[in-house]
Structure 1
């Protein structure tokens, strides 16, 4: 779906136009389901998260701002945050202390930001440049957390690195990435 067409649709959704919402859903559903599935890992949980995310998109479409990224980026963030919230709730219910921390969630950078359909987009070029400025550890741990969807505990087990170190490298890398992106996109 073309970027300008997505913008027209989200503006129409903000005005309460159901037909526009249906078209937006049809054009984005499979991609956003992939985002949810990557994090939730079961079809049932992914579908539940996606449904709740679309309700939020419907109610909050007026909060989308073009200057902060594409419509797909905005919707992907909503799906991602809904999944993270659900995973936290599941962890609490199961009595686990999973390491999904609020300050470690990604504000500006996520795998869904890089559109395979539009590799020349400004946010894609900026992200590629900024990822190249990270040191190897920061890059590896951000990749595992946000491109492969692993929790901090899973990264710890996968890399045999202390949990505190995993969190520190991800946090530091995200701070560097955010600073670089702010410079690149301003």
Structure 2
């Protein structure tokens, strides 16, 4: 992303005050990244374009709620886009998923597709995350990646892994706890 974090914060602040030019600049600086997030979840370019516009409408309406002491502007906007895409996916049913487990049953490196080391959340180390994910059981790792990066519901994961929803919830809970421990996150 060409814009520095501070610039995005200033653009968000100006947008919160109703500055349409600042909002247009914010869109220009972040749309490609947010579109990538939405497209990965929906895997349908048309739907992704619509949902991206919904996400930016949410960003415009809630720009005054952004708190720079809590996180980075791009992280805050990415969460809004991610949630909008998951909402759309659940509302309209699953799209064809590009998926962590490709048609050959092999895992793709989803982190390479979605994470730019320069855009990693504060304090996060992409290589450490890869290492920690590598320590999880294969099914648990795939489950986490499908749930949190592809937007799959617990019910969809239950069907994919032929396990009860309760088991999927347990897998996700344990896998996330293991990742937090491995990453040294409190």
TM-score calculated relative to the size of structure 2? 0.70
Deviations 1:35-71 (A, max 9, x none): 1111122122111111111011011111111232211
Which deviates further from its counterpart, 18-27 or 161-170?
Answer: 161-170
Q: CA deviation at 1:170?
A: 1.2
Q: Distance in 2 between matches of 1:123 and 1:154?
A: 32
Q: For residues 135 and 29 of structure 1, do their structure 2 counterparts lie closer, same or farther at Cα, with a shift above 3 Å needed?
A: same
Q: Distance in 2 between matches of 1:138 and 1:88?
A: 22
- Asked whether the 8 Å contact 1:21–1:58 carries over to 2, the reply is yes
Which deviates further from its counterpart, 145-154 or 163-172?
Answer: 145-154
Structure 2: any 5+ residue segments left out of the alignment?
A: 94-110
2:27 paired residue among 25, 28, 32 = 25
Deviations 1:7-31 (A, max 9, x none): 1111111111111110110111111
Which deviates further from its counterpart, 172-181 or 29-38?
Answer: 172-181
**Aligned residues between the structures:** 163
The match for 2:123 is 123
Alignment RMSD, CA only? 3.2
The match for 1:103 is none
Give the match's secondary structure for 2:18. coil
Q: CA deviation at 1:141?
A: 2.0
Q: Distance in 2 between matches of 1:50 and 1:174?
A: 28
1:167-186 matches, within 5 Å, as 167-174=169-176, 177=179, 184=185
